[in-house]
Structure 1
Amino acid sequence: MSGFLRVSGLRAKFSLTVLAVVLYRLGQNLPSPGVDVRALRAAADAAVRDDRFYGLIDMLSGGGLLRLSVLGLGVFPYVAASVVVQLLVVTVPRMRALAAAGGAGAARIQRYVRILAVVMGALMGTAVAVAAAKGRLPGGDVLAGSGVGTVLAPAGAMTAGTLVTTWLMRLISSRGLGDGLAVLFFVQLAAVFPDLLWRVRQEEGTGAFAATTAAVLVSVLLVIVAVLVLDRAERRVPIQYARRMIGVRRFGGAATYVPLRLDHAGLVPAFTMLALLHLPGLAARLWPGGGRPDGLWTSPDQGSVWFMVVLFVSVAVLSVLSSAGAVDPARVADRLKREGAFVPGIRPGRPTADYLGYVRLRVTAGTPFVLGLVAVLPSAALALAGDQPFVTGTCVLLLAGAGLRTAGRIADRWGQHI
């Protein structure tokens, strides 16, 4: 580590990343204007203790959303915008062509994501502020008034907070260490995870705490192994460049390969479906007259077989949809033909596209099932250990996924210095 920090430029990147993380955590603890801080903090702490669903919201937002902090929405507006744009890339031909346009197209898509993230932040911030004004958040009337200005103040603060969060993510990705989204997500999860384990010890006792800790360690290890295998493994289809004679010299003839990865979606389908499956429960608590009905959708039990089956199937389906547009065999075959390259034993053009599609289908056939198992693994392990995995299982999955993405990005760029 000391040698890593002595490398020219890395110390500045490390310092910038740490500064961005500190600013992010300060923003997640900075209350929005017009909020009764003491009443809201006490009510939020009580809600987290008494209701595991509110504990899940508190964990996912880094402890900021229930306290109406400026950066309380965290990275979720950006994640929601990324998922929407990714689905548009798969389904809309114009967006698909833009994604295939190289660096310029990717930069334009990222710009769309950032703009949509701010719009999502405005919608989410307004919804939370309206719910607080109507007394639907823990603590009842936590805003100093009920007028339009009282609602606009926290909504505007959280919208501006989304803009700041997006800027911090971009700053870390371009001038810091690691992927900005993964770094900030990992930080906000790691900030609340120790308190989550300590609460298990206080509520369940030392024996349950030991079993939960063992289940967490086993789950993290298995998730890491599965994600690393899926992320690093690839099928290399050999290709050969045609030889050309220019004068008396021979050019070309080099051999290389087309990499076909096992997985392109990562843990994004698991993150997305966990959020969607818990969205009805959040709506039931915030919607006027919604109350707190019990049931699979409004108060899901992550330890139940039905929840795990639904999560497994939905993650598998979403992973197939997310990976559908990652590699276009027809476009790859056309590029190889224009460059004078071919797959040995396969004719250029349509036969090459059919062959690449066949290989891709066989290589990625089992990936959705593995991702589905990874999604339900932490909850299943914690249920077997005797813990209620409503919050802990989700946190283990997200923490392992974000940590792996951060470590992988740093290792790819600076691994030779570590």
Structure 2
Amino acid sequence: MKNFFTTLSNIWKIEDLRVRILNTLLFLLIYRVGSYIALPGVDANVLNNQAAKEGLLGLLNMFAGGSFSRASIFALGVMPYISASIVVQLLGIAVPYFAKLQKEGESGRSKINQWTRYLTIIITMAQAVGYVRSQITPAAINPALGSGLFTLSSIFVLTAGTLFVMWLGEKITDKGIGNGISLIIMVGIIAQLPAAIIDEFSSRVSGTNATGGPLLFIVEILALVAVVMFTILVVQGTRKIAVQYAKRIVGNKQYGGVRQYIPLKVNAAGVMPIIFAQALMFIPATISSFFPDIQSNSVLMALSNYTSWLHNLVFAILIILFTYFYTAITVNPKQMSDDMKKNGGFIPGVAPGNATAEYIDAVISRITLPGSIFLAIIAIIPALANILHINSQFARFFGGTSLIILVGVVLDTLQQIESHLLMRHYDGLMKTGRVKGRTAVPAAAGTVPPAI
């Protein structure tokens, strides 16, 4: 405990770090206050959007910190920006113009960011129309406003809200600590945790339908801690490939001649495979809504029920396939091999060039299999928890997208804080060892971009 308070004191002594942390807390506070401001013309007391807390909408509501179900001005959160970023990233693979921009350094990144912002506006406006028409009941709308005027004003407010949240995220990245967009998503997820724990505790201990008692609640908390530790192992897992650099003599100094490592992530794809797989798993439910006559189909019903064994089996298989796909498009062994060769590096026992690229590709293929299986297990744990009669809100924290984002963002932020401490000759956050973040820089170029 003494070391903990000493670390806090060291953090407070560093003016730059102190200002960055305070700025981060201030920006996050602004975001949380805004998430409780309802859209103009909406009566929050009448609004009862329980449907927005279930299924895919429930996941979006969690990412938005509950703003989605409250019809807040930040109801859409940063998800349109995330969607736009994914689309632009995929365009960089399929469209030569965007692929060229990715190779132009800072100027190319600036143009890509501009395209991402434009696409964010288009996606936000499209989602705002669907949100207003499907999630806000007529009883909650001020009758003084016409339907057309309310829809138009809400589209502008929701779009402005998303752009403002995106601006807050950029300010946190520039003036604060950590990745701003990721921190905003993390805060939205954590904001749901206290209420979920209280509801689960009440269902076990108090009330007429209480089951299990406090002992079962303690077991659930211990199980949650174990799942978090397992997730940390998956997120942090790396396979190090030794790289030897040739010795060079320049003047009176020697360069190179040392061995470094390329850390290949066991889960290089991050949370993206789960997001893609979840999007596909909602197709059966969408088909059922458009064709009521086939709702009684047993296979379709099983695929639409996220607690069924068929749904989870297909879900797990899709995650494994998408993990391989996303790893293949984000990790380029050929580029890593070429960059290593240009810098005079080689893998001991492997010839430079194509042989090195094939060796790296083989290693990535081997470590991706256990990584994808672990990711699939984490993704289906919430469904298993729900089958065991754990509250659906609390069960979401046992795995899936939310838990991986929480673990990744917390580790990344702690790494940045520790970097500030070590740079000023203070001890790190831990007495032994180092906080290993997700964005470790490999010895050779061709780094793997971090997940959300």
Instruction: Output the aligned Cα RMSD.
Output: 3.5
C-alpha change, 1:356 and 1:94, in structure 2 (3 Å) is farther
Return 5+ residue gaps in structure 1 as ranges. none
**Residue 2 (structure 1) aligned with residue 9 (structure 2):** yes
Q: Distance in 2 between matches of 1:223 and 1:247?
A: 55
Give me the TM-score of the superposition, normalised by structure 1.
0.83
Name the structure 2 match of 1:237.
241
**1:329-348 residue pairs with structure 2 within 5 A?**
329-348=333-352
1:302 aligns with 2:306: yes
Q: 8 Å contact 1:87–1:322 — kept in the other structure?
A: no
Asked if 1:14 is matched to 2:27, the reply is no
Give SS of 1:235's match: strand
Greater shift, 149-158 or 194-203, is seen at 194-203
Following superposition, the deviation at residue 149 of structure 1 comes to 1.9
Secondary structure of 1:207 counterpart: coil
| Worse overlay, 154-163 or 60-69 | 60-69
From the superposition, tell whether residues 53 and 111 of structure 1 become closer, same or farther in structure 2 (CA, over 3 Å).
closer
What is the percentage of aligned positions where both structures have the same residue?
24
Match for 2:130: what amino acid?
A
Q: Partner amino acid for 2:356?
A: T
Provide the rounded CA distance (Å) in 2 between the counterparts of 1:341 and 1:48.
53
Mapping for residues 142-153 of structure 1, pairs under 5 Å: 142=141, 144=143, 145-153=145-153
TM-fit CA distance, 1:72: 0.9
Q: What residue is the counterpart of 1:319 in the other structure? A: 323
1:366 and 1:89 map into 2 onto residues whose CA distance is 28
Equivalent-residue separation in structure 2 for 1:411 and 1:120 (angstroms): 33
SS in 1 for 2:366: helix
Picking from 361, 367, 381, the partner of 1:377 is 381
Q: Do the aligned residues in 2 keep the contact of 1:200 with 1:209 (CA within 8 Å)?
A: no
Q: Matched residues in 2 for 1:88 and 1:219: separation?
A: 41
> More deviation in 267-276 or 352-361?
267-276
Provide structure 2 residue ranges, at least 5 long, that are not aligned to the other structure. 1-7, 422-427, 430-452
Instruction: Name the residue aligned to 2:88.
Output: 85
The aligned runs of 1:6-405 (5 Å cut-off) are 6-40=13-47, 43-44=48-49, 58-131=61-134, 137-138=136-137, 140=139, 142=141, 144=143, 145-200=145-200, 205-208=209-212, 210=214, 213-214=217-218, 216-244=220-248, 251-274=255-278, 277-278=281-282, 300-383=304-387, 385-387=388-390, 389=392, 391-397=393-399, 398-405=401-408
- The 8 Å contact of residues 208 and 387 in structure 1, kept in 2 or not, is answered as no
Residues 26-76 of structure 1 deviation map (CA, whole Å, 9 limit, x = unaligned): 211111122233322xx236x679x77875564443222233210011222
Q: Per-residue deviation at 1:138?
A: 4.6
Deviations 1:355-384 (A, max 9, x none): 22222222223211111111112321342x
Does the C-alpha gap of structure 1 residues 57 and 230 become closer, same or farther in structure 2, counting only changes over 3 Å? closer
Query: Displacement, 1:147?
Result: 3.9
Cα 1:407/1:281, change in 2 over 3 Å: same
Q: Which structure has more RCO (C-alpha within 8 Å, separation ≥ 6)?
A: 1
How far 1:153 moved relative to its partner? Answer: 0.7
User: Secondary structure at the residue paired with 1:2?
Assistant: helix
Cα-to-partner distance string for 1:82-114 (whole Å, 9 max, x where unaligned): 332333334445444544555554454444333
Query: Which shows bigger deviation, 97-106 or 393-402?
Result: 97-106
**Distance change >3 Å, CA 167–CA 282, structure 1 → 2:** farther
- How far apart are residue 15 of structure 1 and its match? 1.4
Match of residue 406 from structure 1 = 409
In the superposition, the TM-score normalised over structure 2's length comes to: 0.77
Aligned pair in 2 of structure 1 residues 108, 207: CA closer, same or farther (>3 Å)? farther
Cα deviation digits, residues 127-153 of structure 1 (max 9, x gap): 112336xxxx45656353444222111
**Cα shift at 1:249:** 7.1
Shift of 1:407: 1.7
